[in-house]
Structure 1
Amino acid sequence: MPTHVSAARPTYPGVYVEELPSTTRTVSAVTTSVTAFVGHTRRGPLDEPVRVTGFTEFERLFGGLGPRSAVAHAVHQYFTNGGGTAVIVRVAKAGSGTTARTALASTEDHSEHPVLEVYAREPGRWGNALRIAVDHGTRRHGPRDHDPLHHGGHHDSHDHDETFDLRVYDARGNVRESFTGLSADPDHDRHAPTVIDAGSRLIRVEAVGEGRPDPSGTVSKPFGHHLPDLAVDLTVKIGEVEREFTLYDPDRDGEAPRTLAELALLLERKLRALPDAPGRHAYAGAEVTVSGRRLRVVAGSTDPRDVVRFLGECANDLGLEASVNPPVFPLKGGEDSEAPGPQDLIGSEAGRTGIQALRGVADVNLLTLPELAAYDSVDDMVTVVSAAQRLCAERRVLLLVDAPARWADADAARAGLAAFDAVRGDHAALYFPHLRLTDPLTGRLRSFPPSGAVAGVIARTDAERGVWKAPAGTGARLLGVQALTVDLTDRETGLLNPLGVNCLRTLPLAGPLVWGARTLAGADTLDSEWGHVPVRRLALHVEESLHRGLQWVVFEPNDENLWQQIRLSASAYLHTLFRQGAFKGSTPREAYFVKCDHETTTAEDIANGVVNVLVGIAPVRPAEFVIVRIQQTSGQAALWPAEGAP
């Protein structure tokens, strides 16, 4: 028994109350339906598991739906059908795909040389839509106190500052990321490659030279202590659209600008008043800002062709065109990776690539590989399933296998099942046929492998009923599914179900739903105790919960006191499951047992540092066959259900 030293010192006759820490260790239930999706996506980190909790987050990190991404559609169907958390591993064919990039140059020493190489974070065409804007610590129309013309000609500190700001735009002109106060100096605490690589989900940066990159847009020469004559006619050209205007008209513009900030406001107002090309926003959204003693003019669009150019002698006198750059620097050259082959999906355990990347991820319960169904070679498909099953057995995961797309009817499925005899394990379940639903990209009906939707149904069933409930039946509706590629009959289902194939059916009033809950080891001829999906998943759930909940046992004294605590912790956890209906039996004694004593742990085990815990559970098996017998008695029909097969 644990000892306790009283913290209170009795000083008077009476009752003293103290709170003691509990000596009981609890076993907490782990997750049951977190699903891993491994395969091709439009973008995202390669061979890196990423956890997402909704399709919006998947779109942001992995590019959303794509015509060549079965994984993206499977994830969409998973969340549509009730999925809560997914782990995505993007895999690509080795050596395929290129990364979009651009070079930012510097002309501060009057000789152009590259300073920064900007790359999209991952390979793919998606990076070609990114745009980079740079400015040199620009202050947007700051107050007069920051105007150099109000300090007797003293230069603003920004004019000598070597920092710069960098923004990342998407194809629609939206600012996706912004970084301020960056420096090209490796010793600076805001060194650009360090800051951007640590904080950006879109780009990475490499320093390839010295100095800061030139700003985007058109930058003037430095203005002197006093503004020059502004009552001049200017010609400006943005892209291919050329316009003329008067910079300052005393009759219309009122008092003349006295500061550089006031001049920036005037020039911006004049540019925005000029007519745009149809459907364009280059003039209407133009911005003029002050940077030190210079003006910086940027077109109001993120089209790299919309370069602002001031033409003519008057513009030259004002110094409005010292350096001319596009409003943004586009990334180019990105090419999508090819879909992964069998070996790419299997990956390397040492390199943690492909499905092997899941070895370092906790709380994964289901695994789907939606691309396998489209393989031309069934042998390649079986090879990947075999490797995935081995991983699932080690990690306590259930693999959801899509039937090959070429199985066009029940006869083809029966004939093709022989190819899966080599992988008839109890850590995988096969689902047939495929789904027919509207493709969000085209608005047309299209066939999809069912594993993503089935994983969502499993997650929904776990949340509503528990992991011990078979994810099948009239409550296991496939939401968003309009039809199935094969309309199975009762007879055809009766031929496939005993072979360990989980059929998807369309029933009157109920619609498309899951109508099977067997593992690949669930064929009648195999007579496996793990032949049913809920039984297998309940056992995995119990194993993983006890595995984590008993970690505290390591290095504890291996004696009766320890064994008693183990029995208490494990029994309390199993009793909670019993009360929730996970086990059969009317009493705890009939539902489960925990044995940890001198019989399970011998003296030799103790000498070797081993403690053995024997746990037994009586899982509830699904009622696949409900038989109703009718007997005619005295002109009345008496109905009662007979005992069904397991």
Structure 2
Amino acid sequence: MPTNATYPGVYVEELPSSVRSITTVTTSVTAFVGHTRRGPLNHPVRVTSFADFERRFGGLTSKSPLSYAVHQFFGNGGTVAVIVRTVKAGTGEEACVTLESTEGHSECPVLEVHAKEPGLWGNGLRVAVDHDTPARRPTTTPAGGASRRTSHGEETFNLQVLDAKGTARESYGNLSMDPESGRYAETVINAGSQLIRVKVLDEGRPDPSGTVSKPFAHELPDLAVDLTVKIGEVEREFTLYDPDQDGEAPCSVTELALLLERKLRALPDAPGKHAYAGAQVTAFGRRLQVVAGSADPEDVVRFVGECANDLGLEASVNPPVFPLAGGVDGDVPGPRDIIGSEARKTGLQALRDVDDVNLLSLPELSGYENTEDMVTVLSAAERLCQERRIFHLVDAPSTWGSVDSARAGIGAFESVRGNHSGLYFPHLQLTDPLTGRLRTFPPSGAIAGVIARTDSERGVWKAPAGTEARLAGVHSLSVKLTDRENGLLNPLGINCLRTFPMVGPVVWGARTLQGADALDSEWKYVPVRRLALHVEESLLRGLQWVVFEPNNEQLWQQIRLNASSFLHGLFQQGAFKGGTPREAYFVKCDKDTTTAEDIDNGIVNVVVGIAPVKPAEFVIVKIQQMAGQFEL
């Protein structure tokens, strides 16, 4: 804003800079697409540690090469991964339980509880319900008229989600079955739960878990009675109230609940059980809810005998928890499931919704018996990688058990020799954390971790190979290569993994699939391709502000300044060759790149050139013997 000068003197005015900085984007966020134990289907989920992966996707399972790849990714230096869970189409069922209500009418299903994702894991979930909540207040009509109450009552309920061990995972309080309520069960749970989703079937709140008494009168009956209780198959007898031992008699339902809970917990349990010792008795309104201290649905609390009937301790009897059942794991996805549908954003196509993905791993492909299926998926992956500027780490087929089989099999990949992918051979041998035995794994997960570590320590322009590219946790390689054998595979565009004394297993190749000597591609090397992708994505995002700006010389000058500033930062870090910026990069945006016709069409053209540093793939040491020397 111009300064309004009103007095003689010096004025200070701050002016905005015309330079808009271009921020570097991520380089090593790795997407994994395939089968997991649990997790949302065809929905990209970002995880930042393997513990995070365990919470969201169930951790390691022998049927999921992806789970081991993620484990190796984080073990080798990876920091951020994007997981897309897929299953074979038409397979997989969600675990479910239907809660019923007996309030005011005959038994009726009112709430359907589903595991949020399909799979056996949902069969381990338990749901507990209680009514220990304050009653809802009457609601008034919009016009401020007389108060009204819904047909299914004004009371609410609590719902708790537990695991198979009885540990509470999620809790939701003061829920209502009224769609007009701000605590409507379907809205509250479905919006907040990571474990379940619910569907309201009818009016009426679900019955509480455990055993619920009839309402007690304001004046409690005689409590000095002998009761028989049975939890599961274990039956015990006790005296509810003994004046000599229990002091003053309870005067309220709450005091009665405390007395009954203390009596139940004092009873002996079956060996290894906690049903009596952990029993809980809750008072709500004028009723008691008695729940066994166990997550076993068989541990139903039953009060037996005439005295129990007189006290009304068995108005309704339910298990301590309502178990979900019927969950079925989805089958391992096939090629079509991995490729997915672009229209429905499934499989690989789900990554179109994610902005920051730099590397792709499809560890299940290496196990395909049919090479044609593998090539079909690789073709779809190559198209996606080109559109989204992603680099695909391709695992060699598991059938390549020797150098000869690798040389013979590489011909099948001729149709997918793109420069957005690199193939790695052989597979890794690691100790399986689930069994403690050696097992062979595809290498892409570990290599993605090595790339992330290299990017962090050296930069995206450093080849993720060499003695620094150690493969952590790797016991050995499925095929041990010699220098001569490495020399047969490297010219074919196959990146070899080697084991060297004092160093151990390392990545010993940095070529794209288009990097075979016979193809003579300018995108021969992995770091050159990835550096270009990094520059492209950074400039794409950093120049968004240009849209709708006046297309004139002033704009072109700002574009040149901003892009040059970004490239100069990379030059100073060693990303480009050349001793001066002029030798390392250029940015051209002027009347030569943007003609009058372009201006009329709303187009501004920016030409950027870079001179990337190529890796020293062959180091030749020449030694000359000095002979015939004489001293002066």
One of 25, 31, 48 as aligned partner of 1:30: 25
Question: Shift in Å at residue 558 of structure 1?
Answer: 1.1
One of 418, 423, 426 as aligned partner of 2:419: 426
Q: In the alignment, what sits opposite 2:227? A: 234
Offset from partner CA, 1:296-347 (integer Å, 9 cap, x none): 1000011100100000011111111111000000000011000111111111
Question: Shift in Å at residue 183 of structure 1?
Answer: 0.9
Q: Is this contact kept in 2: 1:138–1:289, CA < 8 A?
A: no
Please give the alpha-carbon distance, in whole angstroms, between the structure 1 residues aligned to 2:93 and 2:352: 27
Please give the alpha-carbon distance, in whole angstroms, between the structure 1 residues aligned to 2:279 and 2:483: 68
Q: In the alignment, what sits opposite 1:455? A: 448
Q: In the alignment, what sits opposite 1:489? A: 482
Please give the alpha-carbon distance, in whole angstroms, between the structure 2 residues aligned to 1:283 and 1:9: 83
Q: In the alignment, what sits opposite 2:56? A: 61
Q: How does 1:412-423 map to 2 (within 5 A)?
A: 412-423=405-416
After TM superposition, which residue ranges in structure 1, 4 or more long, deviate above 6 angstroms? none
Q: In the alignment, what sits opposite 2:576? A: 583
One of 597, 602, 627 as aligned partner of 1:604: 597
Please give the alpha-carbon distance, in whole angstroms, between the structure 1 residues aligned to 2:162 and 2:565: 55
Q: How does 1:35-46 map to 2 (within 5 A)?
A: 35-46=30-41
| TM-score, length basis structure 1 | 0.93
What secondary structure does 1:190 align onto? Answer: coil
Q: In the alignment, what sits opposite 1:188? A: 181
| TM-score, length basis structure 2 | 0.96
Question: Shift in Å at residue 287 of structure 1?
Answer: 0.5
One of 371, 379, 390 as aligned partner of 1:397: 390
Q: How does 1:518-537 map to 2 (within 5 A)?
A: 518-537=511-530
Question: Shift in Å at residue 635 of structure 1?
Answer: 8.1
Please give the alpha-carbon distance, in whole angstroms, between the structure 2 residues aligned to 1:203 and 1:112: 24
Question: Shift in Å at residue 138 of structure 1?
Answer: 4.8
One of 542, 566, 575 as aligned partner of 1:573: 566
Offset from partner CA, 1:210-266 (integer Å, 9 cap, x none): 110000010111111111111111110001111111111111112222222111111
Q: How does 1:187-266 map to 2 (within 5 A)?
A: 187-266=180-259
Q: How does 1:164-183 map to 2 (within 5 A)?
A: 164-183=157-176
Please give the alpha-carbon distance, in whole angstroms, between the structure 1 residues aligned to 2:245 and 2:122: 46
2:131 is the counterpart of 1:136: yes
CA RMSD of aligned residues (A): 1.2
2:610 is the counterpart of 1:617: yes
What secondary structure does 2:338 align onto? Answer: helix
Q: In the alignment, what sits opposite 1:341? A: 334
Q: In the alignment, what sits opposite 1:102? A: 97
Amino acid paired to 2:480? D
Offset from partner CA, 1:35-72 (integer Å, 9 cap, x none): 00001111111111111111111111111111111111
Please give the alpha-carbon distance, in whole angstroms, between the structure 2 residues aligned to 1:317 and 1:18: 88
2:84 is the counterpart of 1:89: yes
Offset from partner CA, 1:166-221 (integer Å, 9 cap, x none): 00001121111111111111111111111111000110101111110000010111
Offset from partner CA, 1:95-141 (integer Å, 9 cap, x none): 011111000000012411100111000111000000000011358xx
What secondary structure does 2:519 align onto? Answer: coil
Please give the alpha-carbon distance, in whole angstroms, between the structure 1 residues aligned to 2:26 and 2:153: 57
Q: Is this contact kept in 1: 2:29–2:82, CA < 8 A?
A: yes
Please give the alpha-carbon distance, in whole angstroms, between the structure 2 residues aligned to 1:344 and 1:533: 28
Q: In the alignment, what sits opposite 1:48? A: 43
What secondary structure does 1:569 align onto? Answer: helix
Please give the alpha-carbon distance, in whole angstroms, between the structure 2 residues aligned to 1:635 and 1:549: 64
One of 280, 286, 289 as aligned partner of 2:273: 280
Q: In the alignment, what sits opposite 1:381? A: 374
What secondary structure does 1:197 align onto? Answer: helix
Further displaced range: 605-614 or 455-464: 605-614
Please give the alpha-carbon distance, in whole angstroms, between the structure 1 residues aligned to 2:296 and 2:201: 26
Q: How does 1:157-168 map to 2 (within 5 A)?
A: 161-168=154-161
Task: Give the unaligned 5+ runs of structure 2.
Answer: 135-151
Please give the alpha-carbon distance, in whole angstroms, between the structure 1 residues aligned to 2:257 and 2:600: 84
Q: How does 1:469-508 map to 2 (within 5 A)?
A: 469-508=462-501
Please give the alpha-carbon distance, in whole angstroms, between the structure 2 residues aligned to 1:635 and 1:490: 36
Please give the alpha-carbon distance, in whole angstroms, between the structure 2 residues aligned to 1:514 and 1:273: 64
What secondary structure does 1:506 align onto? Answer: strand
Please give the alpha-carbon distance, in whole angstroms, between the structure 1 residues aligned to 2:515 and 2:37: 37
2:322 is the counterpart of 1:329: yes
What secondary structure does 1:211 align onto? Answer: coil
Question: Shift in Å at residue 12 of structure 1?
Answer: 2.3
Offset from partner CA, 1:455-484 (integer Å, 9 cap, x none): 000000000000000000111111111111
Question: Shift in Å at residue 11 of structure 1?
Answer: 2.5
Q: In the alignment, what sits opposite 2:305? A: 312
Amino acid paired to 1:503? C
Q: Is this contact kept in 1: 2:133–2:156, CA < 8 A?
A: no
One of 68, 78, 81 as aligned partner of 1:73: 68
Please give the alpha-carbon distance, in whole angstroms, between the structure 1 residues aligned to 2:377 and 2:65: 16
Q: Is this contact kept in 1: 2:133–2:173, CA < 8 A?
A: no
Identity of aligned residues (%): 74
Amino acid paired to 1:76? H
Amino acid paired to 1:556? E
2:10 is the counterpart of 1:10: no
Please give the alpha-carbon distance, in whole angstroms, between the structure 2 residues aligned to 1:356 and 1:225: 64
What secondary structure does 1:520 align onto? Answer: coil
Q: How many pairs align?
A: 612
Amino acid paired to 2:463? A
Q: In the alignment, what sits opposite 1:147? A: none
Q: Is this contact kept in 2: 1:138–1:290, CA < 8 A?
A: no
Q: In the alignment, what sits opposite 2:263? A: 270
Offset from partner CA, 1:1-60 (integer Å, 9 cap, x none): xxxx41x32222221112111111111110000000001111111111111111111111
Please give the alpha-carbon distance, in whole angstroms, between the structure 2 residues aligned to 1:163 and 1:438: 52
Amino acid paired to 2:252? T
Further displaced range: 129-138 or 396-405: 129-138
Amino acid paired to 2:529? R
Please give the alpha-carbon distance, in whole angstroms, between the structure 1 residues aligned to 2:396 and 2:376: 14
Question: Shift in Å at residue 634 of structure 1?
Answer: 4.1
Q: Is this contact kept in 2: 1:41–1:72, CA < 8 A?
A: yes
Question: Shift in Å at residue 602 of structure 1?
Answer: 1.2
Offset from partner CA, 1:561-608 (integer Å, 9 cap, x none): 111000000000000000010001111011000011111111111121
What secondary structure does 1:583 align onto? Answer: coil
What secondary structure does 1:461 align onto? Answer: helix
Q: Is this contact kept in 2: 1:217–1:296, CA < 8 A?
A: yes
Q: How does 1:535-554 map to 2 (within 5 A)?
A: 535-554=528-547
2:349 is the counterpart of 1:356: yes
